[in-house]
Structure 1
Amino acid sequence: MARRTGADEAADAYERHLAEHDRDRRRAQGAFYTPPELVAWVLDHALPADGTAVTVLDPACGTGHFLVAAARRLGVRAVHGSDLDPEAIRIARERLHAEDPTVPAEEIERQVVVADGLTAWAGRTFAAVVGNPPFLGQLRRHSAGRSEEHRRGLGAYTDTSAVFLRRSLDLVGQGGVVALVQPLSVLAARDAGAVRAAVASRGAVTDFWCADGPVFAGTPVLTCVPVVRVGAAPSTDPDGWGALAAPAFGIPAVTLPPGTGTVGDLADCTADFRDQYYGLAPFVHDRLPGGVPLVTTGLIDPAESRWGRAPTRFARRRYDAPSVDLAALRAGGGLARWADARLVPKLLVAGQGRVIEAVADEHGAWLPSVPVVSVVPGVRADLWRLLAVLLAPPVVAHAAARYLGTGLTPGSVKVSARQVAALPLPADEHAWAEGARLARVAQAAASGDERAALLAATGRIMTDAYRADPASYDWWWGRVRRRPDESGDPGWSTPA
């Protein structure tokens, strides 16, 4: 174990102070300090194994955990850092000086500076950029400095940590390494897509770390570390980083048949937004006679709608059976065309769940509530064949891995309308047809146990339809559970 100095103790005390007494400032800065074992992992994978002398930058160094650990491997003169917090920088400098008092304090002050790490190092390059940059959403991003030029071309909700990742690609030379802690959402979030594309254009993710639970005290955010080597041959789809983390979450690897087409070839996939959500609110009543059922995400299970049998919430109100007054809505005019477009035979897909949860509205009698996705078959498409695709275990495992990190919880599978449209079709037409038949019978089942057995059979045959490893079925079935209703029904028993 490395010796501890008085400056190290000062760093610990400062971080405890922020955590216990200045939480607003800590949140505003997006500052959560890195456990020593994770620092060691990052340096093990970012620095040369043979101890070759290289230069290292931590662009948001805080009190210097990465800097001190790197200095113990490479020497104090090899490390550089920046941060907007003057007190943190003062402590980091003292820690480095304590590591090697022969290095003049003035020299350390030139290496470790109070500055915005996104702009401070223009024109410089390093062998490695490491660290744990601030996690800040759109509303607090200015806390990371006035560096809007580095957000150009990025989505509005790109996390500041991902902006640091893209910027750091310019701070290392050919063969250089960038290893920055990121929120798990960087793996698949739409607004981080430009960052993933930048990595693919410059190099490749050659090592990867993640945890299936929080590792930073004071925040529930799940994190990962993609280790990017500039100049390495790309091996990961920019939209498929989630597969890197899938093993940590127990998601089985699947290989789906190429060239079979996608759901979007057979159906229009649409999501509704704010206008429909707020526009519907005045027309929704509970158990309105003759009303049109409003189906929320919470009412959708695999091949089952629980409308009228389970409570739900819409527009901050609880409903036992939310119903839309269609006559009043049409008289109002604003959503009449929208309602007519939705009252057609379709699938309704929950915004997120433990698996992809979809149910068929065979007669076009339901309206979807945001964020439910509507899947409307084309003229030649079969509603039940599409339902079988969305229930297929290999497809669910594929989506769970590809879009890992976008859900509200680490175990949830979240798919947008665009992502539903991109889901692949199976290769075995005969097995697919049988899966469609079973899915239809499952939705019509008279009891929960009957539906469970039929869903299990659907999952097995659709695994065969994709010619996939049975492990995807085992994983899928382990996650398919009907939530208890208010009568106390505990849900399905698992078929043998």
Structure 2
Amino acid sequence: MAHASSSRRSPSGAERLPSASSECSDNVAAGPIPTPDEFRARVIKAVETLGSGFLAHPDNGTLRNHLASHDLTARSFYEQLIIIAFRYLFLRIADDLRLPHTPSVTGATSGNNAAWKEFMHACHEFAARNESRAQPHHTSPVCLWSDLLTPDLTGPDSETDPLLEIDNQHFSRLVKTIANESRSPGAVDIGRSAIPSAHLGYAYEALLALEPLIDAEARTFSLRYRARNKRKATGSFYTPALIVENLLESALEPIISSRIDGAPLKSQESALLGITVCDPSCGTGNFLIAAARRLAHRLAQLRSGEHRPDADALQAAFCDVIRECIFGVDINPIAVELCKHALWIESRTDPSVVRSIDRHIKVGNALLGATPELIKSGIPDGSCRVSANDRAHSVSELATPTRRQRTDLIDEADPSAGSSHHARLIADTWCASFMWRESGSASAIDLPHDPTTPSVISDALFQSIRHDPESIASSLKQKIGCLAARFRFFHWQLEFPEVFQPTAGGRSGGFDVVIGNPPFLNQLKSDTASDRRTASMLSAITGGAARAYSDLSTAFLLLGVRLCRPGGRVALLEPMSFLSSRDSAPARASILRDASLAALWVSETRTFPGASVFICAPTLECAGPRARRVKRSCASEFRALPDIEVDMESLRGEESWGPLAAAALAIPEFSFDASGVVGDHADATADFRDQYYGLDGFIVESSRVPQSKVTDSRYPPIVTAGLIDLAACQWGDRHTRILKRPWAAPRIDRACMERQGDLAGWLSSRLIPKIILATQTKIIEVFVDEPGRLLPSLPLITVVPKAAADIWAVAAALASPVSAALAMQRHAGSALSPQAIKLSAKQAMRLPVPIVEELASMAARTLQRAQAAPDSITRHRLLLEFARSSTEAYRVPTKDATKLIDWWSSRL
């Protein structure tokens, strides 16, 4: 890039940067800090200014052509603008804090420190001019501005691909936007205040929610909000500081205490600096910076012997902590760059810290990597899934030996032996086997077809590469390299070898703390679901614990346990559904095999603006005690709840961790007796989408059918979950929606269905005596359809007693306050609201049956009377009588019963 404040790039061989130690304590006084909203607005405006300036300049025809032809996508261009805006912002902050301009962790702004100072001085002077009269003035002897550009904008060869131009007017606006030096007398100068690192994440999150609108021909650029944006698609939501601090209290503080308490004074400092903290989805680094601050504070206390160390002691300690303790990974290169710069600004120190940041904060897919154990086991059967276009003979030749030849070569090569280059190639090959596709099929990478390249990576091929990495064909190596770059394979033992080697003291390798807020990506949603090959690879890496429909954050929790050393702690934010969802059950069991639950925080309110998910945060201790008291807390302020004794082996065998969250959600905790489960006396069925969409064209309004023909047998009423209350059906009295249409009293034309539809048999199977059970409700709501006249619509559950005479007894067991509270405990978080109950047919059948038969019969008769009540007041009174009889039938202690009935009746 060229503009009027600069000429061309500085010559190579510029002098090395001086140490910042002499300047660290001489920073300018901190001014007022801009609010997060002010900071966000300025960054967004800066990006728009850059985009508009680049598109408008007459000399940037190549850029406009690339955008018009989609050689450069609008999204890619936008992301590069974000990088440039933040790079300039960091330079501005560094300049006013009198730091050396060496964020060389990105390779983007390395160079002569004095030249950078001159460049920033030129920027200040240039912006001070009246932009309406701005003319080209070459005021700086070196062109460093071009270093802010990403490779796609500077071009691979600056001699043949000219730098982008930006005119004086847009450049002046950019500088003034960042500094806010014009138009607002009371505005805060970003550069002259200490920008909290939290602001970075907030601003970047806002940028992810926007999409660029580009008209290359009209040379216009703007940003607009999009509901289905990249922020949601990648699960990128900034974590509030209070949550960060409380998770560090739960995960990091016990590690600090265990490391230094009781240790000799002279070894406490080295023990503290031996603690390693990792965020496997670090984003812009708010967890890492907060962890570094905590460790630095404790380190400065040890060194100074003072409870409140001075600023210089804290700064020196922070730098040492950054050098030794802090590690992070993220799949997003922009987030990683922001994280590195934020750590650099926080450290305010010399290039040695920058080099440590570069080694410890890396780009990669933390989930997709091969471990030494996986490499030794070889390519698993089934990983070589091939397309219809794959050559059959190649598949047969290469895939068959996967099972037959694995044991022949399994121990002949050690993946850790030889060069790191070979080790990485072997690990990349293992990962690539899951992503391999023939060029003729839906290609994962754009490479020309090579007949010498195999259509799959079989175990035999993998073992030959493992045995002799030098023998690999160049075309094969190229394709593996392309796949590794595209999917960003990340092999932890190769990226951070110092962490995963056993220590001199005999401690096992691994991090002491794994903490963070991984992306929440619901695999049932098309815009957040993983590719099938990625899912297959995750399943292999986790031993089947990461299921196809489990949230991606669950895989991060499994990863955290694997990365953590024995005695270390893992604390990651998870959707509340992790505690109870069926798809997360294998992960919960796997986690408790290798770790114990030390603490659990649950939020009963939405934490992230713009996200509908409710969250929790389990804290795990790897190789921890198999029985312990688990600390519990809730709400945004982490309000303490009573500890609970948990046997990990027993919890591992449970279908849910939901009961541990009961107190957080104000669900009663009580004891009871039972004589079995509902499934002993009834069967339950949940219908599928076919039974829903198959109704289309056969639903009629009752008012449209001639009165002489309206009978329930010919036109059976169809009911939805919204029409079912406890012991009441509101069909005809309450409107509902089916197939996106409103209905007042919907019926099914049975004769028409029998002639033209596919669900005649289903209709007959549902028009029998049954119990209709609604889902997504505050209590368990059932309606007894004894005549068998109603058709249940998805997602209603149909419960049919094994003995017709038991229909009311089964309904009473399902409707009991005991069953409602247990369902909430077991399946908390699986519904749309944490205060709602969502049951599957199988889960409903596992609810208990009361033990006192006489009281159970009384409760069933009372429920029957409530359903027959002439008005809602009478029904409500009878339901309270039912609740009392029911809890007595389960032998719930009186004190517990009172709380249980009060809770249940408040939700009635």
Name the CA shift for 1:347/1:13 in 2 (closer, same or farther; >3 Å): closer
Structure 1 Cα separation of the partners of residues 294 and 906 of structure 2: 46
Specify which of 240, 253, 275 is matched with residue 690 of structure 2. Answer: 275
Specify which of 226, 231, 243 is matched with residue 659 of structure 2. Answer: 243
- State the SS of the aligned residue for 2:549: coil
Alpha-carbon offset, residue 448 of structure 1:
0.9
Structure 2 Cα separation of the partners of residues 174 and 431 of structure 1: 52
Structure 1 Cα separation of the partners of residues 196 and 535 of structure 2: 31
Query: Where does 1:1-20 land on structure 2 (aligned, <5 Å)?
Result: 5-6=194-195, 8=197, 9-18=199-208
Structure 2 Cα separation of the partners of residues 12 and 196 of structure 1: 32
Structure 2 Cα separation of the partners of residues 442 and 359 of structure 1: 11
**Alignment TM-score, normalising by the size of structure 1:** 0.91
Alpha-carbon offset, residue 431 of structure 1:
0.9
Q: Is the 8 A contact 2:585 2:656 kept in 1?
A: no
Match for residue 226 of structure 1?
618
Bigger share in strand: 1
Alpha-carbon offset, residue 5 of structure 1:
4.5
Alpha-carbon offset, residue 92 of structure 1:
1.4
Identity of matched residues, %? 38
Name the CA shift for 1:373/1:164 in 2 (closer, same or farther; >3 Å): same
Alpha-carbon offset, residue 58 of structure 1:
0.4
Q: Is the 8 A contact 2:561 2:595 kept in 1?
A: no
Q: Is the 8 A contact 1:263 1:423 kept in 2?
A: yes
- 1:133-166 per-position Cα deviation (integer Å, ceiling 9, x unaligned): 01112232449x9575114534332111111112
Structure 1 Cα separation of the partners of residues 343 and 719 of structure 2: 60
Match for residue 492 of structure 2?
122
1:184 alignment partner AA: M
Specify which of 537, 546, 558 is matched with residue 149 of structure 1. Answer: 537
Specify which of 232, 246, 250 is matched with residue 27 of structure 1. Answer: 232
Structure 1 Cα separation of the partners of residues 832 and 557 of structure 2: 23
Alpha-carbon offset, residue 16 of structure 1:
4.2
Aligned residues: 477
Specify which of 56, 61, 85 is matched with residue 332 of structure 2. Answer: 85
Q: Is the 8 A contact 1:266 1:380 kept in 2?
A: no
- 1:372-410 per-position Cα deviation (integer Å, ceiling 9, x unaligned): 000000037511101111221111011012111111122
Query: Where does 1:181-200 land on structure 2 (aligned, <5 Å)?
Result: 181-200=573-592
* Alignment gaps of 5+ in structure 1: 481-496
Name the CA shift for 1:148/1:39 in 2 (closer, same or farther; >3 Å): farther
Structure 2 Cα separation of the partners of residues 218 and 252 of structure 1: 31
2:678 alignment partner AA: V
Stretch of structure 1 that moved more, 355-364 or 119-128: 119-128
- State the SS of the aligned residue for 1:243: helix
1:268 alignment partner AA: D
1:122 alignment partner AA: W
| Structure with max Cα Rg | 2
Query: Where does 1:322-341 land on structure 2 (aligned, <5 Å)?
Result: 322-332=746-756, 334-341=758-765
Specify which of 455, 480, 486 is matched with residue 879 of structure 2. Answer: 455
- State the SS of the aligned residue for 2:697: helix
Structure 2 Cα separation of the partners of residues 228 and 329 of structure 1: 55
Match for residue 492 of structure 1?
none
- 1:95-147 per-position Cα deviation (integer Å, ceiling 9, x unaligned): 3234443543122111110111213353342112110001112232449x957
Stretch of structure 1 that moved more, 427-436 or 230-239: 230-239
1:31 alignment partner AA: S
- State the SS of the aligned residue for 1:270: strand
1:285 correspondence with 2:700: yes
- State the SS of the aligned residue for 1:173: strand
- State the SS of the aligned residue for 1:208: strand
Q: Is the 8 A contact 1:404 1:410 kept in 2?
A: yes
2:880 alignment partner AA: A
- State the SS of the aligned residue for 1:307: coil
Query: Where does 1:73-472 land on structure 2 (aligned, <5 Å)?
Result: 73-74=294-295, 75-76=321-322, 77-100=324-347, 101=349, 103-119=352-368, 120-123=490-493, 124=500, 125-138=510-523, 139=526, 140-142=528-530, 148-152=536-540, 153=544, 154-232=546-624, 233=626, 234=648, 236-237=651-652, 238-257=654-673, 260-287=675-702, 288=705, 289-290=710-711, 291-332=715-756, 334-379=758-803, 382-468=806-892, 469-470=896-897, 471-472=899-900
2:904 alignment partner AA: W
Stretch of structure 1 that moved more, 236-245 or 186-195: 236-245
Name the CA shift for 1:381/1:200 in 2 (closer, same or farther; >3 Å): farther
Name the CA shift for 1:14/1:366 in 2 (closer, same or farther; >3 Å): closer
Name the CA shift for 1:121/1:209 in 2 (closer, same or farther; >3 Å): farther
1:39 correspondence with 2:244: yes
**Alignment TM-score, normalising by the size of structure 2:** 0.50
Q: Is the 8 A contact 2:862 2:881 kept in 1?
A: yes
* Alignment gaps of 5+ in structure 2: 1-32, 34-192, 211-222, 260-271, 296-320, 369-489, 494-499, 501-509, 627-647
Name the CA shift for 1:194/1:448 in 2 (closer, same or farther; >3 Å): same
Structure 1 Cα separation of the partners of residues 278 and 805 of structure 2: 55
Structure 2 Cα separation of the partners of residues 13 and 368 of structure 1: 48
CA RMSD of aligned residues (A): 2.3
* Segments of 4+ moved more than 4 angstroms: 3-7, 9-12, 19-23, 145-148
Q: Is the 8 A contact 1:293 1:321 kept in 2?
A: yes
Stretch of structure 1 that moved more, 126-135 or 113-122: 113-122
